[in-house]
Structure 1
């Protein structure tokens, strides 16, 4: 295994499953989550199966060398000239959101029988609205997150750097971005994370939304990072910022919040009524894409391990299930409700520890009020009694669960 790369097996398998099939392969994800490396590793795989270099065309639109190809007509003409007749052509368009009206180029390439098309983007809005409508039924998409704990551990084992699961998890909480594996010290790691954060804020939020009051945006981001795992009210945030002498209103906060979600810096978990099986119109919770970014923004607020662990579990559920919600049952809350592609439900309650009987009863209470037969899990950091079963509610150690996979 080359120490330089982290092989993202599940994402590679996604590309392999759809290789040469008549759909556009779309990989979205926050900046520096590993999309470009994934495409590189897939190209290496293609060459190992006999695909020639002439059949592969790669353009990264963040490379100045390709800046003129951000014009859709120039891009299409360039790609058309690169096609090899009577052969399958593999085209990789990285960070395609930089191309104005890229959907027209993609649609024109899609209708060609000898083109297999792969695109990536670093935000959610590049496949939204009219674009998604135009390409409906023509693409498959996977959202790429930074490293899972399982990937993090496997890389350390492959490079003979593994110590034990607990120490690995402590390191993992420093950051899950792939490149941080190669930083040599804490300062270098934090400087790298600062670069990611600044690029996301300035390029993917401020520039796109034409934000005039950047301090309000940054205060909003810090508030969301601080209140992770808590229901968020737009009205309450606006009032909090006003009391801190920031000039803003609900409409502005709502607009900035959508920009933060579109940048994939954070994810929303909406409330789900368990008894009625419906999405509720109450306050959502928001979770950050990487624990290192929270350390960067809130260096003096690192002891909230309960909510940090909850955030890690949420991200893992996002990797395993297409839909993840926060659950409401009567007047109680279930941390997460996950639905698979068949709409089969899994319930998850998360706690640092339940060795105290009062805490155990508190965590079990909402799960016990759910009368269906879908699996229910209690995830904790406990090593003692870690595999207990409470009338069908299965307790699991979080590290074991993270490493077990789906």
Structure 2
């Protein structure tokens, strides 16, 4: 068994030596289920007390993420350790391997991590960083290879349109994202959406986003080619636009089989939309 934090380390340097004798597995940080196991919270038996513990644990999970070593440290040490992880990824997994400018790749990483869930264009990043278009594309691929971020495309049956539209980026660990971008509780909505993305990727879903009059956070293209549209609304009061955008998507795409709205605590089914609390969805 060979393990490492860099995708290219495994795929490019070892797979060629083990042709026909290798399988690659992508290991994510702790899932929320696993995090609750570490806390010894018995989530299969949910009562009011357990539910409150789960919701409190979710807030902590937003902040510190899912690296096992971080879980066992005191709060001050958690932040130091997460900063060390971020620096190691930048300097050891990217700078030393690809011989790129450390400040520029770090600035780009911070920009993408701070703006998780927001659509971005290469041109916009060029204006922010001063990097060339080719360099930006290379740098983003290095950040993805190092498992710091993942990007998703716009959903369209036209490959050209899908590739030409803005992309969205997500962090593969919210703890590293927070420490790198100096953002915590005020970003709860973005962190909820990011956590939903990580879970979808853990399940190996094919994930996109879509934007019409409204925006759909995630479009899942299922193996049967039917579509699932998901919005995340982690607020006390659900914005009407979250509902309208899901209904707009269903009207636009007749292969839509399921509409899901992940909420803070609302659970119901209405207008063909399944409302599920995020914490409960993560435990399914």
Which TM class, normalised by the smaller chain length? 0.7 to 0.9
1:205 CA displacement: 0.5
Classify 1:271/1:356 alpha carbon distance in 2 versus 1 (closer, same or farther; 3 Å): closer
1:389 to 270, 273, 284: 270
User: In the TM superposition, what are the counterparts of 1:227-376 in structure 2 within 5 Å?
Assistant: 227-242=115-130, 248-273=131-156, 276=157, 278=159, 280-281=162-163, 282-300=165-183, 302-328=185-211, 330=212, 332-353=214-235, 355-356=237-238, 358-369=240-251, 370-376=253-259
1:167 to 52, 56, 74: 56
User: In the TM superposition, what are the counterparts of 1:81-100 in structure 2 within 5 Å?
Assistant: 92=1, 94=2
- Of structures 1 and 2, the one with the larger relative CO (CA 8 A, separation 6+) is 2
Q: What is the rounded CA distance, in whole Å, between the counterparts of 1:176 and 1:166 in structure 2?
A: 16
Q: How many pairs does the alignment contain?
A: 273
User: In the TM superposition, what are the counterparts of 1:142-161 in structure 2 within 5 Å?
Assistant: 142-157=25-40
Would the aligned equivalents of 1:295 and 1:302 in 2 still touch at CA under 8 Å? no
Q: Which has the higher helix share?
A: 2
Classify 1:359/1:271 alpha carbon distance in 2 versus 1 (closer, same or farther; 3 Å): closer
Ranges in structure 2 where 5+ consecutive residues have no aligned partner:
43-49
Please name the residue that 1:191 is paired with. 80
User: In the TM superposition, what are the counterparts of 1:5-84 in structure 2 within 5 Å?
Assistant: none
Bigger-Rg structure (1/2): 1
Q: What is the rounded CA distance, in whole Å, between the counterparts of 1:298 and 1:368 in structure 2?
A: 35
1:249 CA displacement: 1.9
- What TM-score do you get using the length of structure 2 for normalisation? 0.84
- What TM-score do you get using the length of structure 1 for normalisation? 0.61
Please name the residue that 2:261 is paired with. 378
Please name the residue that 1:217 is paired with. 105
Would the aligned equivalents of 1:272 and 1:327 in 2 still touch at CA under 8 Å? yes
SS of corresponding position for 2:198: helix
Q: CA RMSD, aligned part only?
A: 2.8
Would the aligned equivalents of 1:148 and 1:176 in 2 still touch at CA under 8 Å? yes
Would the aligned equivalents of 2:229 and 2:246 in 1 still touch at CA under 8 Å? no
Q: What is the rounded CA distance, in whole Å, between the counterparts of 1:395 and 1:382 in structure 2?
A: 9
Kindly provide the CA deviation profile for residues 30-78 of structure 1, in whole angstroms up to 9, marking residues without a partner as x.
xxxxxxxxxxxxxxxxxxxxxxxxxxxxxxxxxxxxxxxxxxxxxxxxx
Kindly provide the CA deviation profile for residues 105-142 of structure 1, in whole angstroms up to 9, marking residues without a partner as x.
xxxxxxxxxxxxxxx23222235469767867654332
Would the aligned equivalents of 1:316 and 1:402 in 2 still touch at CA under 8 Å? yes
Would the aligned equivalents of 2:105 and 2:139 in 1 still touch at CA under 8 Å? yes
